[in-house]
Amino acid sequence: MTRRIALAVAWRSIHNFLTNPAFLLPGILFPLFFFTAFAGGLSAISGAPGFDFEGGYTAFQFVFVLLQSAAFGGVFTGFGIARDFEVGFARRYLLAATDRRGIVLGYALAAFVRALITWTILTVVALVAGMEIGGSAGEIVALYVLAVLVNLSATLWSAGVAMRVRSIQGGPLMQFPTFLVLFLAPVYVPLSLLSGWIHAVASVNPVTALLEAGRGFISGDPTVVALAFAVAIALPLAFGLWARGGLRRAEAAG
Amino acid sequence: MSGGLRTQVGQLARRSVLRTMRQPAQIVPSLIFPLFLLAVNSGGLKSATNLPGFPTDSYLTFALAVPFMQGALFSVMNTGTDLARDIETGFLNRLALTPLRGAALLSGLLAGAVVLGVVQAGVYLSVGLIAGAELAAGFGGALVIVALSVSITVAFGTIGLFVALRSGSGEAVQGLFPVFFVFLFLSAMSLPLDLLETDWFHAIASANPVTYLLEAFRSLLIEGWNIGDLALGFGIAAVILAIGMFGASRALKTRLVRT
């Protein structure tokens, strides 16, 4: 039964964003835009002393944009959940679903499909732009698995916020912390080239492990793999509890 | 300016300024967001100063030009959204029944952008200098930075007015934000023009007026007094202002005819 609920919720969400360019395009265009601006405009940074990434700056930035699009795919789905609550549709879900966990699962499935579309386009654009891939097939699969787990984490985080606030006004609460945690990681240069406060923050930021592992996979030089997967698995577990709490709050609010 | 026109502009300017100052939601993001990006980028891209040909050893000084441009982008949103709200609520229709002149309406609406421009420039510059940025042109340069910031903020504000008058929708004005963000990111925002290695990116950034607005700020921060860069910066602001005002005036006439 949970599976049927999830599929029904996912189908409606997917249909909504596929048929409305205002919902579909930002999720696709923003990552492409960031990729273009960073990989194109900052390529000279790879010539800075100490920049020792083997795979080229395009691949270096591709990993960041891939994980960023994964996270924002989840955040945009959170906007959809908030909108469903605002217009009252989510209340109908709550009334109709026998197992309400299926609702959250359905939204997560929709977020995954949304991210998959973006990743496909992003990957094609990166390859056309001459991105070098030094990693094996298995390592590239591992990179995308990390992205899937980031997408799931962001969806559960945003779902938790959306079901607590139950209004699109909660959008900044979903978006800003995600933006913050992503940009307080080694976005432009490896961690070793950061200094001062940003190095201190990035060193304890869990996103750093995800980025370093992802960049290791794409260049064929895996690094901090265990830590990255530990983080990538812990995050959805923690945010799963957060989303479950949000669901209970929404149920209590009727 | 005749006494009547002065009164009209004054009344609308007062309303515009008060409306801007009473909405922290308009002011706070336009201060916080650019400063956050300044902090992140100046930390994250510090190693760029080791590149041969980078004009300063302080990335913070180099990056301090960017918040002024981001602040101007917020001006598009704020000015346009305010006018769109006037259209949506019917306030513009009521104004159309008065003998108010179009020039007074547009000039008055930009008063809020002037105030916002001054506040933004003051905050960005103060925070930047406190954080350790250099200002090669000294106190006089600080005044010119504020003047340039206000000029750009007002010039961009006219684009917000134009879109609001053409569309009559706050949502359409908000939709401009990503477009302007593209202009900002596809410029010499993160590295000097000479250090942009990718050919197509270099070509786009060279043709992007935002690059030269950034260079005008940077000339004061890094070099001192470079009259050529400053003239180009103020000149581009004047051209944007002229085009924006022309477009907004035409759109206002069309909208008032519709009314």
Chain B residues in contact with A29 by the CB 8 A cut-off are 178
pLDDT at A167: 82
pLDDT digits (tens, 9 = 90+) for A31-56: 898 898 888 888 888 888 888 888 88
Q: Chain B partners of A193 at a C-beta cutoff of 8 Å? A: 46-47
CA atoms within 13 A on the CB side of B3: 0
pLDDT, tens digit (0-9, with 9 covering 90-100), for B6-27: 777 777 778 877 777 777 766 7
Please tell me which residue of chain B has the smallest CA distance to A197. B43
At A235 the pLDDT is: 96
pLDDT more than 70, % of chain A: 100
Chain A residues within 8 Å of chain B (Cβ atoms): 26, 29-30, 33-34, 36-37, 39-45, 47-51, 180, 183-184, 186-189, 193-199
Complex prediction ipTM:
0.71
- The pLDDT value recorded for residue A28 is 86
Q: What pLDDT is attached to residue A226?
A: 97
Query: pLDDT category, A133, cuts 50, 70, 90?
Result: very high
Which structure tokens are listed for B179?
A: 């477009």
Determine the Cα angle at B57 with ends B53 and B59, to 5°.
100
- Other CB atoms within 10 Å distance of the CB of residue A84: 24
- The pLDDT assigned to B207 comes to 95
In whole angstroms, what is the distance from residue B110 CA to residue A216 CA? 51
pLDDT at B259 over 60: no
pLDDT at A205 over 80: yes
Distant-in-sequence, close-in-space partners of B179: CB < 8 Å, separation ≥ 6: none
Question: Residue B142: its pLDDT value, please?
Answer: 95
pLDDT of B70 above 70: yes
Structure tokens at B239: 């051209």
Of A122, A118, A31, A108, the closest CA to residue A77 belongs to A108
Shortest distance between the Cα of B100 and any Cα of chain A, in A, equals: 37
- How close is the nearest chain B Cα to the Cα of A95, in Å? 33
Percent of chain B with pLDDT over 70: 95
Say which range, A40-44, B27-31, B141-145, has the weakest mean pLDDT.
B27-31
Q: Above 90 in pLDDT, residue A19?
A: no
Q: Is the pLDDT of residue A108 over 60?
A: yes
CB contact under 8 A, A195 and B205: no
Kindly list the residues from chain A whose CB atom is less than 8 angstroms away from the CB atom of residue B201.
36, 40-41, 43
Residue pair A62/A218 in contact by the 8 Å Cβ criterion = yes
Name which of A25, A36, A203 to mutate to probe chain B: the one with the most chain B Cβ atoms within 10 A of its Cβ.
A36
Residue B60: is its pLDDT beyond 80?
yes
Read off the pLDDT of residues A48-92 as tens digits, 9 standing for 90 and up: 888 888 888 999 999 999 999 999 999 989 988 988 888 888 888
pLDDT in tens, B223-242: 999 999 999 999 999 999 99
- Work out the pLDDT band at A246, boundaries 50, 70, 90: very high
**B110 has pLDDT over 90:** no
Strands (E), A72-220: none
Contact A48 B205 (CB under 8 A): no
- Categorize the per-residue pLDDT at B137 as very low, low, confident or very high, splitting at 50, 70 and 90: very high
Return the domain boundaries, chain B. 3-258
pLDDT at A118: 94
What's the alpha-carbon Rg for chain A, to the nearest Å?
Answer: 19
Q: Tell me, what's the pLDDT at A53?
A: 86
CB B221 within 8 Å of CB B133: yes
Q: How far is B212 from chain A (nearest CA, A)?
A: 16
Percent of chain B with pLDDT over 90: 44
Non-local CB neighbours of B108 within 8 Å, separated by 6+ positions: B8, B9, B10, B11, B12, B13, B15, B16
Question: Contact A30/A173 with Cβ under 8 angstroms?
Answer: no
Give chain B's mean pLDDT: 86
Q: What is the dihedral of CA A227, A75, A108, A208, to 10 degrees?
A: -10
Residues ≥6 apart with Cβ < 8 Å to B127 = B35, B38
CB pairs below 8 Å between A and B: how many? 82
What's the mean pLDDT in A18-36?
A: 83
Cβ contact, residue pair A44, B196, below 8 Å: yes
Task: State how many domains chain A has.
Answer: 1
Residue B47 has pLDDT above 90, yes or no: no
| Band of pLDDT at residue A112, cut at 50, 70 and 90 | very high
What's residue A25's pLDDT?
A: 81
Whole-angstrom Cα distance, residue B253 to residue A37? 39
